[in-house]
Amino acid sequence: MTAIHGKKGIVDFTGLQLATEVTSFTIDTRCEIAECTVMNSLTVTSATHWKNYLPGFKDWSATVETILPSAGIGIDAVGTEAALGLDTTDGYDWAGTAICTGLSITNSADDVGRVSLSFEGVSAITASA
């Protein structure tokens, strides 16, 4: 099995300088489903009375964790729509257009300052290897 180590990563979003401060990123994809089960009069067995579903709309979101750079972070990016690239630099890349929906800054006395950014996809996300 081929695996990649999580130590390499780059995140690009217009208006944010994140390339060197990223500590992790997460991508969550989802598909809505609609239940289309109908009643029947068959005797209940292991082969009957299963629910049925149809796939619906798909969407995705991403979360990026970074170290707070000394120059600060572009809070103006919140609410903007731009191309978002999430790359492992080992040849696995994800890209799509997204809106930056949130920015959370944590500054603790016993750690470096950290930033958590939330993104919501507005078009299909693509993956390439």
Between 69 and 22, the higher pLDDT residue: 22
Contacts of 62 (CB under 8 A, 6+ apart): 25, 26, 27, 28, 84, 86, 98, 118, 119, 121
Determine the pLDDT at residue 73.
Answer: 74
The number of C-alpha atoms within 13 Å of 12 and in the hemisphere containing its C-beta is 10
The tens digit of pLDDT for each residue in 105-114 reads 898 899 988 9
* Residue 4 in this model has a pLDDT that exceeds 80: no
The tens digit of pLDDT for each residue in 35-81 reads 998 887 777 777 777 889 999 999 999 999 988 877 767 778 889 99
- pTM for the complete prediction? 0.82
Which is it for strands 126-128 and 22-35: parallel, antiparallel or unpaired?
unpaired
Backbone angles phi, psi at 3, to 5 degrees: -135, 165
CA distance 110 to 85: 31
